[in-house]
Structure 1
Amino acid sequence: MSNEPLMEPIMSKYKMRKNIVTRMAASIIAAFLFQFCNSPKEGQMTEDQSKAAIQIVSLDPGHFHAGLIHKSMYPEVDSTIHVYAPEGEELRDYLKRIAGYNERAEDPTAWNIEIYTGDDFLQEMIRQKAGNVMVVAGKNDRKIDYILAALENDINVYADKPLVINPEGFQKLKKAFAIAEQKDLLFYDIMTERFEISTILQRELSMIPEVFGTIEKGTLENPAITKESVHHFFKYVSGAPLIRPEWFFDTEIEGSGLVDVTTHLVDLVQWEVFPEKALDTADVEMLEAELLPTSLNYEQYELVTRKKPPFENGETLDVMANGEMNYTLKGVHAKVSVKWAYQAPEGTADTHYSIMRGSKANLIIRQGANESYKPVLYVKLLEDQAEALEKAVLTDLQGKYPGIGLTKLETGEYKIEVPSSYSVGHEAHFAQVTENYLKYFKAGELPDWEVPNMIVKYYTTTQAFAAAQ
């Protein structure tokens, strides 16, 4: 199989000279690329969206999440994406991904792309100011600097996690939020896991005292809330094998196992235990944190990156991708852990486990073989409140989530039955969180608790990283 990217002939034929490219030249190449991979099919949206409220600029899209945002279209968003990036495989992968969405048979998108490449891509984005919202998903070590540059130049920010990967970055993050507040700009990170239905229902039931009671305080050995996830370096995205950039395995750039995927889990701890309540960094006490490696052999590295490994055959690359932290949040003990394997066994996938321990019930999410590797919520009652649980699920929550049900198992636990229409999958969550951002953009503000809780979230992850050192 050839490793030559689809866009290679186009990009090489129309390669722009770095630092001296004119806007006209960029437009000519963008028009050619659009003709090649973004031609609308019959029935696609073709009306002029130049007056849309939001114009997106995509900066240095080095992670596949940058493309997933555009798997759907939004009425409020201009159909032209202005891309500023260095030339290379990451840009080509991003273009191919969006071209695939434009050319798919079912519900195709109609994105137009205008591209600027060159070493001064950040400066050119600021100079042109072609959009009012910057999307950034890529190298995590420099992401906060991109964010600061955008905010300092009056551009709103919609950023993939993690925003920062170390305590030094956290100090810059606080400055970024201060600038956003001063300039009345919307700065938000992409928390897709809030839209997973099993997590939503876990949160809903935890807020019903008749079922859950109150959250336990827990202990270091038996936390009140636990969030664990298992991920894989080799996977399929939008039906194609995911090619990871080489820097993904450099924790100085990508971040370690305590500051990357853990961002989602720490966010869920806050979102579920203290729903819609503003938190403070003083509420966090880091107790323990640990980093452990996942080892890749020569063949595995070569397959997932399509590059020659930077080590000899017979050796391995140890990636500090696994992290576990134990901490308290306002006195409630929480445990968060992330594990990475190379590839999931046949028929399996990334998995999530969670438990919230209440005074009347435990709310447990499992995603193993018994659940066909789909997240399922179970309720273990600690008192005789079956009637209250039935009312909560079959009556109280039916208005928000029609069709959910309840089954009592032989184990004594209750399984929350959820129609398949709610299980849209990880990729679809990007459209859901983007629609949420658009709602906040139109309103001109975030909920009062979002910014302080984003600060607390990244304080927690970076404190765990510092503790593990």
Structure 2
Amino acid sequence: MSCEPAQKPANTLKVRLLVLNPGHFHAALVQKTMYPEIDSLVYIYGQKGGDLDMHLKRIEGYNTRQENPTHWKQEVYTQSDFLEKMLTEKKGNVVVLAGNNQKKTDYILASLENGLHVFADKPMAINEEGFKKLKKAFEVAEKNKVLLYDIMTERYEITSILQKELSMLPEIFGTLEKGSPENPAVIKESVHHFYKYVSGNVLTRPAWFLDVSQQGEGIVDVTTHLVDLVQWACFPEQPIDYTTDIQIYTAKRWTTDMGISDFKTITKLDTFPTYLSKYVEKDTLLKVFCNGEINYALKGVHAKVKVIWNYKAPEGTGDTHYSIMRGSKANLVIRQGAEENYIPTLYIEPHAPNSMEESVVIEKIQELAKKYQGIAVEKSAQGWKVQIPDALRESHEAHFARVTEKFLSFLKEGKLPSWEVPNMLAKYYTTTQALKLAKEK
């Protein structure tokens, strides 16, 4: 089967997936749902070992589950020349990349050069050298009329969607503040955990996930989502020029320390692999540079993003997200703490008591409810809490289907929206330059 061209009539689009060296559970989540446009036979090219075995086990789990089982069939190639074999055979037309990030940008570039579309998990670049290759990759994609797109699941979190929607209502939000480095107009922070459940099971992490030379440091990994949300919410559907629109003020990085017992629990390995030795102190303590913070300005709007990785969440809790957008009339705040039962919750907080008529807020929310059925507001200590029905709340895993559906729509059109490529470049420029700045200290 030859590579399909980028542009086809919508009703004849047929996608055949080429999963390249899967090593992260996100690779399997792309296949948690079946899609009419995607062939049920998937071609996998990768290295033999635990990563591939776990990937196949996850897909088998989706195929055998009681509710809405999938029916994927898989053809697997595991010789050492797996990349060259995939590029030579071209049995599919869309490469799915979610795994070890050390060679990811090289895989992206090689796939595009051979006329294949690429649907990639973040991050697509983990350092300055990778960013330069990524820039070339987008040039190749344009030349070869294929698409390169990263999997930005957080755009489909309902509280982030509604925060963005409310920020475009001058009656409630006013206009976006500019802020300052000391008091940013936009702050996005997330806390993650190495020990977590995925699809009902404790996630086994590959040991390389803890090697920042392979996974990437925290400041270029999860912060990709946060930087993307800042761009997406503050300047919706507007192109950003990384050469003129971004100014990075400060960046810092720090470690999370993990003992051998905790390491064994999440990797199922008894000892630290040799490649981790450079991060190990006294043979017992692994130090992972998985935390980072960036203080920067985007088109004159000051923003701060921060990511923290802890080992394990306290009982009854999980990963959390905090976000604030400061407007001239009110702040829009997402909190996910104990008071919210660790469920992301959106608040509208006017700057002064009684400065905003409740009838105005209710009216605007009712208008939004025509698009997002069931939302409402209730009074809170600082203003109003946005009530979001369970029907609008989807899990992180479910968001993968939303991104995949969006990517399929782009394939049908034969192009990405005009702002997506410059904004992907802006995003990875921000993270990789921040890493460079943080390491200079």
Give the TM-score band, short-chain normalised.
over 0.9
Per the alignment, residue 32 of structure 1 pairs with none
CA apart distance, 1:314: 7.4
Check if 1:102 corresponds to 2:74.
no
Letter in 1 for 2:404: T
**Matched letter for residue 419 of structure 2:** W
Q: CA deviation at 1:390?
A: 1.4
Given that 1:157 and 1:186 are in contact with CA atoms closer than 8 Å, whether structure 2 keeps it comes out as yes
In structure 2, the residue corresponding to 1:253 is in which secondary structure? helix
Query: The residue matched to 1:181 in structure 2 has which SS?
Result: helix
Shift of 1:465: 0.3
- The offset of 1:313, in angstroms, is 8.4
Give the corresponding residue for 2:210.
249
Shift in Å at residue 385 of structure 1?
4.1
Partner of 2:401: helix, strand, or coil? helix
Shift of residue 289, structure 1, vs aligned partner = 0.3
- Asked if 2 retains the 8 angstrom alpha-carbon contact of 1:297 and 1:314, the reply is no
Query: 2:359 and 2:422 mapped to 1: Cα distance?
Result: 38
| Counterpart AA for 1:77 | I
Equivalent position of 2:359 in the other structure? 387
Instruction: Tell me the TM-score normalized by structure 2.
Output: 0.93
Partner of 2:245: 283
Q: What are the Cα deviations for residues 166-192 of structure 1, in whole angstroms up to 9, with x where unaligned?
A: 000000000000011111111100000
Structure 1 residues 449, 312: CA separation in 2 closer, same or farther (over 3 Å shift)?
A: closer
Match of 1:335 in 2: 304
- Structure 2 counterpart SS, 1:71: coil
| Aligned-partner Cα distance in 2 for 1:289–1:308 | 35
Q: Which residue of 2 aligns with 1:436?
A: 406
- How far apart, in 2, do the equivalents of 1:355 and 1:362 lie? 7
Match of 1:321 among 282, 290, 315: 290
Letter in 2 for 1:391: E
Aligned amino acid, residue 59 of structure 2: I
Counterpart AA for 1:141:
Q
- Aligned-residue offset at 1:52: 6.0
Match of 1:302 among 250, 261, 264: 264
Q: Which residue of 1 aligns with 2:316?
A: 347
CA shift digits 1:44-72 (9 cap, x unpaired) = xxxxxxx8610000000011100011000
- Structure 1 residues 112 and 52 mapped into 2: Cα distance closer, same or farther (>3 Å)? farther
What do residues 360-405 of structure 1 show as CA deviations (whole Å, max 9, x unaligned)? Answer: 11000000111111100000012324332211111x2112101101
Matched residue pairs, number? 417
- Look up the match of 1:463: 433
One of 47, 52, 59 as aligned partner of 1:91 = 52
Q: Deviations over 1:75-118 (max 9, x none)?
A: 00000110000100100000000000000000000000001111
CA distance in 1, matches of 2:138, 2:174: 36
The residue type paired with residue 426 of structure 2 is V
CA distance in 2, matches of 1:335, 1:349: 22
Residue in 1 aligned with 2:371? 400
Query: Does residue 421 of structure 1 match 2:383?
Result: no
CA distance in 1, matches of 2:121, 2:27: 8
CA distance in 1, matches of 2:262, 2:100: 22
Distance between the aligned counterparts of 1:168 and 1:109, measured in 2?
Answer: 39
Say whether the 8 Å CA contact 2:212–2:288 is kept in structure 1: yes
1:234-286 per-residue CA deviation (whole Å, 9 max, x = no partner) reads 10100011010011011011001110000000000000000110000110000
Deviation for aligned residue 1:292: 0.5
C-alpha change, 1:52 and 1:361, in structure 2 (3 Å) is same
8 Å contact from structure 1 (residues 348, 373) kept in 2: yes
Structure 2 Cα separation of the partners of residues 216 and 237 of structure 1: 38
| Alpha-carbon distance between aligned partners in 1 of 2:249 and 2:135, rounded to the nearest angstrom | 23
Q: Secondary structure of 2:255's partner?
A: strand
**Any gaps of 5 or more consecutive residues in structure 1?**
1-50
Is the contact between residue 211 and residue 385 of structure 1 (CA under 8 Å) also seen in structure 2?
no
> TM-score w.r.t. structure 1 length?
0.88
Query: 1:8-60: CA deviations, max 9, x gaps?
Result: xxxxxxxxxxxxxxxxxxxxxxxxxxxxxxxxxxxxxxxxxxx8610000000
**Structure-2 residue corresponding to 1:370:** 339
Q: Partner of 1:152 in structure 2?
A: 113
User: Does structure 2 retain, via aligned residues, the 8 Å contact 1:161–1:190?
Assistant: yes
Hey, what's the Cα distance between the residues in 1 that align with 2:91 and 2:124?
23
Distance 1:250 1:385 in 2: 53
Give the Cα separation in 2 of the matches to 1:313 and 1:423: 45
Distance between the aligned counterparts of 2:313 and 2:202, measured in 1? 13
Alignment-derived partner of residue 220 in structure 1: 181
Q: Higher RCO, 1 or 2 (CA under 8 Å, sep at least 6)?
A: 2
| Structure 1 residue 448 displacement after superposition | 0.7
Q: Which runs of 5+ in 2 are unaligned?
A: 1-11, 273-279
8 A contact 2:42–2:74 mirrored in 1: yes
In structure 1, C-alpha distance between the alignment counterparts of 2:89 and 2:221, rounded to whole Å:
32
**More displaced, 303-312 or 431-440?**
303-312
What secondary structure sits across from 2:160 in the alignment?
Answer: helix
Which residue does 2:5 correspond to in 1? none
User: Which amino acid letter does the alignment assign opposite residue 398 of structure 1?
Assistant: A
Distance 1:304 1:427 in 2: 20
AA aligned opposite 1:468: A
Amino acid of the structure 2 residue aligned with 1:347: G
**SS of structure 2 residue aligned to 1:210:** coil
**Cα distance between partner residues in 2 of 1:308 and 1:52:** 47
Secondary structure of the corresponding residue to residue 390 of structure 1 = helix
Change (3 A) 1:314 1:455: closer
Give distance in 2, aligned partners of 1:131 and 1:346: 44
8 Å Cα contact 2:13/2:412 also seen in 1: no
Shift of 1:209: 1.1
SS in 2 for 1:352: strand
Partner in structure 2 of residue 358 of structure 1 = 327
CA distance in 2, matches of 1:302, 1:112: 33
Map Cα deviations across residues 122-149 of structure 1 (whole Å, 9 max, x no partner): 0000011000000010111110000011
Partner of 1:212: helix, strand, or coil? coil
